Amino acid sequence: MSTVISMRNANKRYPQFGLENLNLELESGEILGLVGVNGAGKSTTLRILMGLIEIDSGEVEVFGQAMPKAQVAVKQNIGFASDDMRLYKQKTLGWHMQLIRASYRQWDDKYATHLLQRFKLKPEQLVKGLSHGQRVKACLLLLLARRPPLLILDEPTTGLDPVARLDILEELAEILRDENRSVLFSSHNTQDIEKLSDRIMFLHEGRVIASKDKDSFIDDWRSVRCSGNIDPDKICIPGITRVKKNGSLIDITVQGYREDFNEVLRAQKLEIIHVSRLTLEEIFIANIRREMMQ
Amino acid sequence: MKFDTGMIGILVMKDWSLMNKYILVYASGIIFSLIVLAIPSSASFYMGSILLLTINITIGFHSISSSIIGEKKENTVPFIMSLPISPTDYAVAKVLSNLGLFLLPWLATFLGLTALFTLTKMPMGILPFYYLICFQLLLNYVLVLGVSLILESEGWMIFTMVIVNLLLNVVIMQLAQLPEFNAHFSSNTFDWPNLATYICLAQVLISAIVLAMALVKQSLRRTFI
């Protein structure tokens, strides 16, 4: 596996916000999901990788080339889409396809036709007549049909209704399975990230607060529901991030869960009702809360 | 400055394609204005002249506002930024496409006026005055284009438009009062005074400097944002 993206100690300062010592690596064939609330720095990070924003300090390389210096050559190999990207509404999808075909030597006509059928789009459709979901699909078609080895998708499902979102995620998951390409995509929707990613990175206020492969993330966290009359502050097991008491019920959120924790809790006169895994959204919230408490 | 001429060509054609139906409308407007101008009456003469001025000013405003400010407002810039281009390629393409969009109808106006005065009995002596107004329109356009490229702000573009249009009135009034021009307004012979050459050179030179400044400023940018 080769390194496709390498970002080392990247800093970017704005008056109200900044990225701090951001480190990010993406290997060939890997799908990395960036999760963060609005304003966490996801879009800024992706735009830095596209060579659209220059960092104040640090190093950014994509395909081994320094950004933004090599942005023209590197962008030949990146398919980029963002939620704020719009096509020319007075023109047809076919007109946009012609424009992209002229701009990229790797444009694949056969694949474009295949994607048109798959996304149920027609080249003669005017962009202004497309629904939001169709516009997102049109953007994906335009970037996928040139078969870029790296996809950078900034909140591709934002603003879509649940049906269109699921539709696009399913299409995307299938396409990504078919292809040997690296993908970096951001979302504040953890379900989207969970569905597509191999590895997940949580961003908060311009810093990486956690980064792991998806399975380890999910496996690492548990919610333990117990009952007992004990002061929640006195519960002592390593990795506790939150204890919530509701009557005699106590919910403990714990990172780095091990089977022997149950014995430790029982020793503290707590009866374990059940132990469950957390969803990625719950893990994300737990991370943010821990970060805010620090 | 390093350019990708292939991509610049694609971007220019893209801008032209977005404006093609308007080019036809403006071309028809110019032809109509020239016909009005050719009608032998003082009312149609003034009306035709004002129509020509208005159309040329509108073309400039329309092309800049839709291709530079409009792309930003309608969020089509992220799509263009994702293409394999540098900020310099983008700026050069914007200058070329906008200049082309303006120069085509401008040239049609220029040549149309020449043909009109040559082929009809209209007084040829007023033609140098008309030519200088044409060059002032070009200078005004370049000033608005330069400001729009550098500042990428609709507010600044409108402010510059207002200023250059006021300037146009001042230029027309000043030129009309100069004896080098007004003494020949009714003459049937074309007499190009030396002063006209100097004014014309100054207008072209200032236009070239403004464009060069805009391009240098943009080429110093390493990133789009």
pLDDT, tens only, A46-65: 999 999 999 999 999 999 99
Q: Is A156 found in the same domain as A81?
A: yes
On chain B, the residues whose CB falls within 8 A of the CB of A54 are: 222-223
- Determine the distance in angstroms separating the CA of B84 from the nearest CA of chain A, rounded to an integer: 5
Both structure tokens of B124 = 């040829």
Whether A51 sits inside 8 A of B223 (CB atoms) is yes
Residues A82 and A154 in one domain: yes
A87 → chain B, closest CA residue: B76
CA distance to partner chain A, nearest, from residue B81 (Å)? 7
Same domain for A107 and A56?
Answer: yes
10 Å CB burial of residue A136 (0-12, 13-18, 19+) is buried
Calculate how close chain B gets to A101, using CA atoms only, in Å: 11
The answer to whether B180 contacts chain A (CB < 8 Å) is no
Shared domain for A136 and A259, answered yes or no, is: no
- The whole-number pLDDT of residue A227 equals 86
- Looking at residue A1, what is its pLDDT? 67
Q: What is the pLDDT of residues B101-120, one digit of tens each?
A: 999 889 988 898 898 888 88
Structural domain boundaries, residue A249: 220-293
Query: Residue A237: pLDDT above 80?
Result: no
Q: Is residue A28 part of a domain?
A: yes
**Closest residue in A to B90 (Cα–Cα):** A72
Together in a domain, A188 and A231: no
Tell me if A212 is assigned to some domain. no
**What is d(CA A243, CA A241) in angstroms, rounded to the nearest whole number?**
7
Residue A131 lies in a domain: yes
Q: Which of A150, A176, A205 corresponds to the end of one domain?
A: A205
Q: Closest approach of chain B CAs to the CA of A43, in angstroms?
A: 12
Please report whether residue A17 resides in a domain: yes
Residue A213 maps to a domain:
no
Q: Count the domains in chain A.
A: 2
Q: CB neighbours (10 Å) of residue B177?
A: 9
Same domain flag for A46 and A122: yes
Q: Which of A71, A78, A87 minimises the CB distance to B79?
A: A87
Domain membership of residue A167 (yes or no) is yes
Starting at the earlier edge strand, list the strands of the sheet with A249-255: A240-246, A249-255, A221-227, A271-277
Within a domain: A215: no
Site of tokens 């080339």? A65
Angstrom distance (rounded) from CA A148 to CA A150: 5
C-alpha distances out from residue B146 to A81, A190, B61, B95, B150, Å: 30, 45, 13, 9, 6
Residues A138 and A248 reside in one and the same domain: no
ipTM score for this prediction:
0.84
Task: Establish if A210 belongs to a structural domain.
Answer: no
One domain, residues A199 and A228: no
Q: What is the pLDDT of residues A206-220, one digit of tens each?
A: 888 888 888 888 888
The answer to whether B81 contacts chain A (CB < 8 Å) is: yes
What CATH number should be reported for the domain holding residue A185?
A: 3.40.50.300
Q: How many CB atoms lie within 10 A of CB B142?
A: 25
For residues A160 and A280, state if they share a domain: no
List of chain B residues whose C-beta atoms are within 8 Å of the C-beta of residue A84: 75, 78
